[in-house]
Amino acid sequence: MITKRTILLLATVLILTLALAACQPQTVEVEVTRVVTETQEVEVPVEVEVEVPVEVTRVVTETETVVEEISELGSEERPIKVLFVPSVEAEAIISGGEVLASALTEATGLNFEVSVPTSYAATIEEMCASPDDTIGFIPAQGYVLANDRCGVTVGGAAVRFGLPWYAAQIVVPMDSEAETLEDLAGGTWAIPDYGSTSGYLYPSADFMALGIEPGEIVEAGSHNNAMLAVYNGDVDFATAFFSPPLLPFYERQWTYGVDDPEIWRDAEEAPVRNAEGRTFVAGGPDEGGYRILDARSSVSDTAPDIFEKTRILALTPKIPNDTVSFGPEFPLATAQDIVDALIEFTASEACLQSICSEEFYNWTGLEAVPDSFYDPVRSTMATLGITEEEVFGDG
Protein backbone atom coordinates (compact mmCIF):
# COMPACT_ATOMS: atom_id res chain seq x y z
CA MET A 1 0.00 0.00 0.00
CA ILE A 2 1.42 3.32 -1.10
CA THR A 3 1.40 5.71 1.67
CA LYS A 4 1.21 9.49 1.50
CA ARG A 5 4.85 9.56 2.59
CA THR A 6 5.82 7.51 -0.40
CA ILE A 7 3.81 9.79 -2.81
CA LEU A 8 5.39 12.90 -1.35
CA LEU A 9 8.85 11.38 -1.76
CA LEU A 10 8.22 10.48 -5.38
CA ALA A 11 6.86 13.96 -6.11
CA THR A 12 10.00 15.46 -4.61
CA VAL A 13 12.27 13.28 -6.74
CA LEU A 14 10.26 14.16 -9.86
CA ILE A 15 10.53 17.89 -9.20
CA LEU A 16 14.30 17.63 -8.70
CA THR A 17 14.66 15.62 -11.88
CA LEU A 18 12.70 18.19 -13.88
CA ALA A 19 14.71 21.05 -12.42
CA LEU A 20 17.98 19.36 -13.41
CA ALA A 21 16.67 18.74 -16.93
CA ALA A 22 15.68 22.38 -17.35
CA CYS A 23 19.28 23.44 -16.75
CA GLN A 24 20.62 21.33 -19.70
CA PRO A 25 20.54 22.58 -23.39
CA GLN A 26 17.99 20.68 -25.38
CA THR A 27 16.76 20.66 -28.98
CA VAL A 28 13.06 20.36 -29.11
CA GLU A 29 11.09 19.91 -32.33
CA VAL A 30 7.73 21.42 -31.90
CA GLU A 31 5.00 21.40 -34.52
CA VAL A 32 3.02 24.51 -34.22
CA THR A 33 0.47 26.45 -36.15
CA ARG A 34 2.19 29.84 -37.12
CA VAL A 35 0.58 32.99 -36.03
CA VAL A 36 1.89 35.62 -38.52
CA THR A 37 1.94 39.13 -37.21
CA GLU A 38 4.24 40.86 -39.84
CA THR A 39 2.81 43.00 -42.74
CA GLN A 40 2.67 41.03 -45.95
CA GLU A 41 2.76 42.38 -49.60
CA VAL A 42 -0.45 41.42 -51.27
CA GLU A 43 -1.01 41.81 -55.07
CA VAL A 44 -4.27 43.62 -55.41
CA PRO A 45 -5.44 45.01 -58.80
CA VAL A 46 -5.30 48.81 -58.55
CA GLU A 47 -6.17 51.37 -61.27
CA VAL A 48 -3.41 54.04 -61.44
CA GLU A 49 -2.16 56.78 -63.85
CA VAL A 50 1.32 56.00 -65.13
CA GLU A 51 3.59 58.23 -67.34
CA VAL A 52 4.66 55.97 -70.18
CA PRO A 53 7.69 57.08 -72.32
CA VAL A 54 6.50 57.42 -75.92
CA GLU A 55 8.76 57.94 -78.95
CA VAL A 56 7.20 60.51 -81.29
CA THR A 57 8.16 62.66 -84.24
CA ARG A 58 8.29 66.27 -82.95
CA VAL A 59 6.32 68.98 -84.72
CA VAL A 60 8.20 72.18 -83.86
CA THR A 61 6.08 75.29 -84.02
CA GLU A 62 8.22 77.64 -81.98
CA THR A 63 10.30 80.35 -83.69
CA GLU A 64 13.96 79.50 -83.68
CA THR A 65 16.54 82.28 -83.61
CA VAL A 66 19.32 81.77 -86.11
CA VAL A 67 22.44 83.82 -85.58
CA GLU A 68 24.23 84.52 -88.84
CA GLU A 69 27.73 85.83 -88.96
CA ILE A 70 27.72 89.12 -90.88
CA SER A 71 30.76 89.76 -93.03
CA GLU A 72 32.69 92.98 -92.61
CA LEU A 73 31.56 95.89 -94.79
CA GLY A 74 33.76 96.18 -97.85
CA SER A 75 34.97 92.59 -97.71
CA GLU A 76 34.83 90.30 -100.74
CA GLU A 77 31.83 88.56 -99.15
CA ARG A 78 30.07 91.87 -98.53
CA PRO A 79 31.14 94.51 -101.07
CA ILE A 80 29.84 98.07 -100.89
CA LYS A 81 27.05 98.57 -103.43
CA VAL A 82 27.60 101.46 -105.85
CA LEU A 83 24.34 102.45 -107.56
CA PHE A 84 24.07 104.68 -110.63
CA VAL A 85 20.80 106.09 -111.97
CA PRO A 86 20.19 105.10 -115.60
CA SER A 87 20.54 108.64 -116.98
CA VAL A 88 22.86 107.61 -119.84
CA GLU A 89 23.59 104.34 -121.62
CA ALA A 90 23.89 101.42 -119.19
CA GLU A 91 26.97 100.05 -120.97
CA ALA A 92 28.87 103.30 -120.41
CA ILE A 93 27.86 103.32 -116.75
CA ILE A 94 28.89 99.72 -116.11
CA SER A 95 32.28 100.01 -117.82
CA GLY A 96 33.02 103.42 -116.30
CA GLY A 97 31.69 102.30 -112.95
CA GLU A 98 34.14 99.41 -112.87
CA VAL A 99 37.01 101.85 -113.45
CA LEU A 100 35.79 103.91 -110.50
CA ALA A 101 35.34 100.82 -108.31
CA SER A 102 38.89 99.66 -109.00
CA ALA A 103 40.27 103.09 -108.12
CA LEU A 104 38.29 103.18 -104.88
CA THR A 105 39.48 99.71 -103.94
CA GLU A 106 43.09 100.74 -104.49
CA ALA A 107 42.61 103.91 -102.41
CA THR A 108 40.60 102.43 -99.52
CA GLY A 109 41.29 98.69 -99.52
CA LEU A 110 37.53 98.06 -99.69
CA ASN A 111 35.58 96.08 -102.27
CA PHE A 112 32.80 97.61 -104.38
CA GLU A 113 30.04 96.22 -106.61
CA VAL A 114 28.57 98.40 -109.39
CA SER A 115 24.97 98.17 -110.58
CA VAL A 116 22.43 100.22 -112.53
CA PRO A 117 18.86 99.84 -111.23
CA THR A 118 16.05 100.09 -113.75
CA SER A 119 14.94 103.62 -112.77
CA TYR A 120 15.59 106.56 -110.49
CA ALA A 121 12.94 105.28 -108.10
CA ALA A 122 14.47 101.79 -108.06
CA THR A 123 17.84 103.30 -107.13
CA ILE A 124 16.32 105.10 -104.16
CA GLU A 125 14.36 102.02 -103.10
CA GLU A 126 17.58 99.99 -103.06
CA MET A 127 19.36 102.57 -100.88
CA CYS A 128 16.50 102.55 -98.39
CA ALA A 129 16.24 98.76 -98.39
CA SER A 130 20.00 98.34 -97.87
CA PRO A 131 20.80 101.30 -95.60
CA ASP A 132 24.25 100.36 -94.30
CA ASP A 133 26.15 99.36 -97.44
CA THR A 134 24.97 101.50 -100.38
CA ILE A 135 26.36 104.51 -102.24
CA GLY A 136 24.18 106.29 -104.79
CA PHE A 137 25.13 108.68 -107.58
CA ILE A 138 21.76 110.38 -107.71
CA PRO A 139 20.47 113.77 -108.96
CA ALA A 140 19.14 116.54 -106.77
CA GLN A 141 15.46 115.53 -106.80
CA GLY A 142 16.39 111.90 -106.24
CA TYR A 143 18.48 112.91 -103.23
CA VAL A 144 15.67 114.99 -101.71
CA LEU A 145 13.22 112.12 -102.14
CA ALA A 146 15.68 109.61 -100.68
CA ASN A 147 16.48 111.90 -97.76
CA ASP A 148 12.80 112.37 -96.96
CA ARG A 149 11.96 108.71 -97.48
CA CYS A 150 14.60 107.07 -95.30
CA GLY A 151 17.31 109.55 -94.30
CA VAL A 152 19.85 109.07 -97.11
CA THR A 153 22.71 111.56 -96.55
CA VAL A 154 24.66 113.64 -99.06
CA GLY A 155 28.41 113.13 -99.22
CA GLY A 156 29.24 115.67 -101.89
CA ALA A 157 28.04 117.50 -105.00
CA ALA A 158 29.47 117.14 -108.47
CA VAL A 159 31.51 119.92 -110.01
CA ARG A 160 31.45 120.37 -113.77
CA PHE A 161 34.18 122.62 -115.12
CA GLY A 162 34.26 124.70 -111.98
CA LEU A 163 30.49 124.99 -111.58
CA PRO A 164 28.41 123.36 -108.79
CA TRP A 165 25.22 123.85 -110.82
CA TYR A 166 23.69 122.92 -114.14
CA ALA A 167 20.29 123.53 -115.77
CA ALA A 168 17.63 121.84 -117.87
CA GLN A 169 17.32 122.48 -121.57
CA ILE A 170 14.07 122.39 -123.51
CA VAL A 171 14.95 121.13 -126.99
CA VAL A 172 12.77 121.30 -130.09
CA PRO A 173 13.26 120.28 -133.74
CA MET A 174 15.18 122.88 -135.72
CA ASP A 175 12.12 123.51 -137.91
CA SER A 176 9.68 123.76 -134.98
CA GLU A 177 7.43 126.78 -135.03
CA ALA A 178 7.83 127.19 -131.26
CA GLU A 179 9.54 130.43 -130.27
CA THR A 180 8.55 130.56 -126.60
CA LEU A 181 7.64 128.05 -123.92
CA GLU A 182 3.99 129.03 -124.28
CA ASP A 183 4.10 127.61 -127.80
CA LEU A 184 4.66 124.14 -126.35
CA ALA A 185 1.20 123.93 -124.75
CA GLY A 186 -0.47 120.65 -125.69
CA GLY A 187 2.69 119.29 -127.32
CA THR A 188 4.09 115.79 -126.80
CA TRP A 189 6.94 115.87 -124.26
CA ALA A 190 9.79 113.33 -123.86
CA ILE A 191 11.40 113.15 -120.42
CA PRO A 192 14.21 110.91 -119.16
CA ASP A 193 12.38 109.83 -116.00
CA TYR A 194 9.86 111.25 -113.54
CA GLY A 195 12.63 111.22 -110.93
CA SER A 196 14.94 113.39 -113.07
CA THR A 197 15.61 116.87 -111.71
CA SER A 198 16.58 118.47 -115.01
CA GLY A 199 14.51 116.20 -117.22
CA TYR A 200 11.21 116.64 -115.38
CA LEU A 201 11.16 118.58 -112.10
CA TYR A 202 12.51 121.98 -113.15
CA PRO A 203 10.80 122.11 -116.56
CA SER A 204 7.51 121.24 -114.84
CA ALA A 205 8.00 124.17 -112.47
CA ASP A 206 8.55 126.52 -115.41
CA PHE A 207 5.45 125.21 -117.19
CA MET A 208 3.34 125.62 -114.06
CA ALA A 209 4.56 129.17 -113.48
CA LEU A 210 3.54 130.06 -117.04
CA GLY A 211 0.27 128.15 -116.96
CA ILE A 212 1.42 125.78 -119.70
CA GLU A 213 -0.13 122.33 -119.88
CA PRO A 214 1.85 119.91 -122.06
CA GLY A 215 0.10 117.07 -123.82
CA GLU A 216 1.24 113.47 -123.59
CA ILE A 217 4.40 112.81 -121.56
CA VAL A 218 6.68 110.05 -122.86
CA GLU A 219 9.11 108.54 -120.33
CA ALA A 220 12.15 107.79 -122.52
CA GLY A 221 14.30 106.13 -119.85
CA SER A 222 17.43 108.31 -120.15
CA HIS A 223 18.62 111.77 -121.18
CA ASN A 224 20.10 110.26 -124.35
CA ASN A 225 16.81 108.65 -125.32
CA ALA A 226 14.91 111.88 -124.66
CA MET A 227 17.23 113.76 -127.03
CA LEU A 228 16.91 111.03 -129.66
CA ALA A 229 13.11 111.14 -129.34
CA VAL A 230 12.99 114.79 -130.42
CA TYR A 231 15.71 114.21 -133.03
CA ASN A 232 13.69 111.35 -134.58
CA GLY A 233 10.50 113.42 -134.60
CA ASP A 234 8.71 111.16 -132.13
CA VAL A 235 7.78 114.08 -129.85
CA ASP A 236 7.33 117.85 -130.13
CA PHE A 237 9.95 118.66 -127.52
CA ALA A 238 12.19 117.01 -124.97
CA THR A 239 14.08 117.95 -121.84
CA ALA A 240 17.48 116.92 -120.51
CA PHE A 241 20.50 118.32 -118.67
CA PHE A 242 22.40 121.40 -119.85
CA SER A 243 25.99 122.21 -118.93
CA PRO A 244 27.40 125.46 -120.34
CA PRO A 245 29.84 125.25 -123.25
CA LEU A 246 33.52 125.99 -122.77
CA LEU A 247 34.56 129.19 -124.54
CA PRO A 248 37.59 129.94 -126.77
CA PHE A 249 40.93 129.93 -124.96
CA TYR A 250 39.04 129.53 -121.67
CA GLU A 251 39.04 133.32 -121.54
CA ARG A 252 35.98 133.33 -119.29
CA GLN A 253 33.12 131.15 -118.12
CA TRP A 254 29.83 131.10 -119.95
CA THR A 255 27.47 133.47 -118.11
CA TYR A 256 24.00 132.27 -117.18
CA GLY A 257 21.24 134.67 -118.31
CA VAL A 258 23.63 136.63 -120.53
CA ASP A 259 25.18 134.25 -123.06
CA ASP A 260 23.18 132.27 -125.58
CA PRO A 261 22.99 128.55 -124.66
CA GLU A 262 24.25 127.83 -128.17
CA ILE A 263 26.84 130.60 -128.37
CA TRP A 264 29.05 128.24 -130.34
CA ARG A 265 26.80 128.72 -133.39
CA ASP A 266 28.59 132.04 -133.87
CA ALA A 267 31.53 130.06 -135.25
CA GLU A 268 29.32 128.92 -138.16
CA GLU A 269 30.85 125.46 -138.14
CA ALA A 270 29.19 122.13 -137.43
CA PRO A 271 30.05 120.40 -134.15
CA VAL A 272 32.44 117.45 -134.48
CA ARG A 273 32.82 114.54 -132.10
CA ASN A 274 36.41 113.32 -131.71
CA ALA A 275 37.72 109.84 -130.93
CA GLU A 276 37.64 110.54 -127.17
CA GLY A 277 33.92 111.34 -127.38
CA ARG A 278 34.28 115.10 -126.95
CA THR A 279 32.28 117.49 -129.09
CA PHE A 280 34.09 120.55 -130.45
CA VAL A 281 33.24 123.45 -132.72
CA ALA A 282 36.06 125.06 -134.73
CA GLY A 283 38.60 123.09 -132.73
CA GLY A 284 38.90 122.82 -128.98
CA PRO A 285 38.90 125.81 -126.61
CA ASP A 286 42.68 125.79 -126.50
CA GLU A 287 42.58 126.31 -130.29
CA GLY A 288 40.08 129.15 -130.13
CA GLY A 289 37.01 126.97 -130.54
CA TYR A 290 34.20 125.70 -128.30
CA ARG A 291 33.42 122.51 -126.45
CA ILE A 292 29.74 121.54 -126.23
CA LEU A 293 28.66 119.88 -122.98
CA ASP A 294 24.86 119.65 -123.16
CA ALA A 295 23.00 116.32 -123.32
CA ARG A 296 23.02 116.13 -127.13
CA SER A 297 26.80 115.69 -127.19
CA SER A 298 26.35 112.25 -125.57
CA VAL A 299 24.47 110.94 -128.63
CA SER A 300 26.32 112.78 -131.39
CA ASP A 301 28.01 109.50 -132.38
CA THR A 302 24.59 107.89 -132.96
CA ALA A 303 23.13 111.06 -134.49
CA PRO A 304 26.05 113.15 -135.86
CA ASP A 305 23.70 115.83 -137.19
CA ILE A 306 21.63 116.22 -134.03
CA PHE A 307 22.86 119.80 -133.56
CA GLU A 308 21.71 120.65 -137.09
CA LYS A 309 18.28 119.11 -136.58
CA THR A 310 17.52 120.35 -133.06
CA ARG A 311 17.89 123.56 -131.07
CA ILE A 312 17.59 124.75 -127.49
CA LEU A 313 14.40 126.75 -126.99
CA ALA A 314 14.97 127.73 -123.36
CA LEU A 315 16.79 126.90 -120.12
CA THR A 316 15.40 126.46 -116.62
CA PRO A 317 16.83 128.17 -113.52
CA LYS A 318 20.09 126.81 -112.11
CA ILE A 319 19.95 123.39 -110.44
CA PRO A 320 22.30 122.12 -107.72
CA ASN A 321 24.56 119.45 -109.20
CA ASP A 322 24.11 115.71 -108.76
CA THR A 323 25.19 114.03 -105.55
CA VAL A 324 27.16 111.14 -104.25
CA SER A 325 25.02 110.00 -101.35
CA PHE A 326 25.14 107.28 -98.71
CA GLY A 327 22.57 104.97 -97.15
CA PRO A 328 21.17 106.27 -93.85
CA GLU A 329 23.14 103.79 -91.73
CA PHE A 330 26.39 103.85 -93.70
CA PRO A 331 29.39 104.23 -91.34
CA LEU A 332 30.39 107.92 -91.27
CA ALA A 333 34.14 107.34 -91.08
CA THR A 334 34.04 104.97 -94.06
CA ALA A 335 31.88 107.44 -96.01
CA GLN A 336 34.44 110.20 -95.42
CA ASP A 337 37.27 107.95 -96.63
CA ILE A 338 35.31 107.23 -99.80
CA VAL A 339 34.53 110.91 -100.43
CA ASP A 340 38.22 111.77 -100.04
CA ALA A 341 39.10 109.02 -102.51
CA LEU A 342 36.46 110.28 -104.96
CA ILE A 343 37.86 113.82 -104.82
CA GLU A 344 41.28 112.45 -105.77
CA PHE A 345 39.74 110.24 -108.45
CA THR A 346 37.93 113.12 -110.19
CA ALA A 347 41.27 114.90 -110.50
CA SER A 348 42.92 111.88 -112.18
CA GLU A 349 43.23 110.79 -115.80
CA ALA A 350 41.38 107.58 -114.95
CA CYS A 351 38.23 109.59 -114.27
CA LEU A 352 38.04 110.41 -117.99
CA GLN A 353 37.13 106.74 -118.49
CA SER A 354 34.45 106.94 -115.82
CA ILE A 355 32.21 109.62 -114.29
CA CYS A 356 34.27 112.40 -115.90
CA SER A 357 33.56 111.03 -119.37
CA GLU A 358 31.22 112.92 -121.67
CA GLU A 359 29.31 109.67 -122.22
CA PHE A 360 28.94 109.29 -118.47
CA TYR A 361 28.24 112.17 -116.02
CA ASN A 362 30.85 114.64 -117.25
CA TRP A 363 32.08 115.47 -113.73
CA THR A 364 35.31 117.37 -113.26
CA GLY A 365 35.35 117.38 -109.47
CA LEU A 366 33.48 116.81 -106.23
CA GLU A 367 32.97 119.15 -103.31
CA ALA A 368 31.42 118.70 -99.91
CA VAL A 369 28.03 120.38 -99.48
CA PRO A 370 25.46 120.44 -96.66
CA ASP A 371 21.95 119.09 -96.97
CA SER A 372 20.65 122.69 -97.14
CA PHE A 373 22.37 123.06 -100.55
CA TYR A 374 19.35 121.20 -101.95
CA ASP A 375 16.68 123.35 -100.29
CA PRO A 376 15.85 125.09 -103.63
CA VAL A 377 14.97 121.68 -105.01
CA ARG A 378 12.75 120.98 -102.01
CA SER A 379 11.03 124.32 -102.56
CA THR A 380 10.42 123.56 -106.24
CA MET A 381 9.00 120.14 -105.40
CA ALA A 382 6.71 121.67 -102.79
CA THR A 383 5.48 124.26 -105.30
CA LEU A 384 4.64 121.54 -107.77
CA GLY A 385 3.10 119.35 -105.10
CA ILE A 386 5.34 116.44 -106.12
CA THR A 387 4.90 113.53 -103.74
CA GLU A 388 6.59 110.17 -103.26
CA GLU A 389 3.57 108.48 -104.82
CA GLU A 390 4.13 110.33 -108.09
CA VAL A 391 7.70 109.04 -108.33
CA PHE A 392 7.44 105.65 -106.57
CA GLY A 393 3.86 104.77 -107.40
CA ASP A 394 1.13 103.68 -105.02
CA GLY A 395 2.95 100.49 -104.07
Domain boundaries of the chain, sorted by first residue: 80-162+321-371
SS (H, E, C) 91-137: HHHHHHHHHHHHHHHHHHCCCEEEECCCCHHHHHHHHHHCCCCEEEE
What's 2's DSSP letter? -
For the four alpha carbons of 89, 91, 92 and 97, in that order, the dihedral sign comes to positive
Q: What angle do CA 167, 170, 172 make, to 5 degrees?
A: 155
Tens digit of each residue's pLDDT (9 = 90 or more) over 154-174 = 999 999 999 989 999 999 999
Tens digit of each residue's pLDDT (9 = 90 or more) over 248-265 = 999 999 999 999 999 999
276-304 in b/e form (b: 16+ CB < 10 A) is ebbbbbbebbeeebbbbbbbbbbbbeebe
Tens digit of each residue's pLDDT (9 = 90 or more) over 262-285 = 999 999 999 999 988 899 999 999
Tens digit of each residue's pLDDT (9 = 90 or more) over 126-153 = 999 999 999 999 999 999 999 999 999 9
At residue 277, the pLDDT reads: 84
Cα–Cα nearest to 390, from 4, 352, 381, 365: 381
Q: How far apart are the first and last CA of the chain?
A: 145
DSSP 317-334: SPEEPPEEEE-TTS-HHH
At residue 4, the pLDDT reads: 55
pTM of the model: 0.74
Residues 6+ apart with CB under 8 A from 267: 281, 282, 289, 290
pLDDT interval class at 71 (50, 70, 90): confident
Tens digit of each residue's pLDDT (9 = 90 or more) over 16-38 = 444 444 445 444 444 444 444 44
Q: In whole angstroms, how far apart are CA 85 and each of 19, 192, 256, 296, 302? A: 131, 11, 27, 18, 21
Residue 66: CB atoms within 10 Å: 5
CA distance 27 to 49: 54
Q: Which fold has domain 80-162+321-371?
A: D-Maltodextrin-Binding Protein; domain 2 (3.40.190)
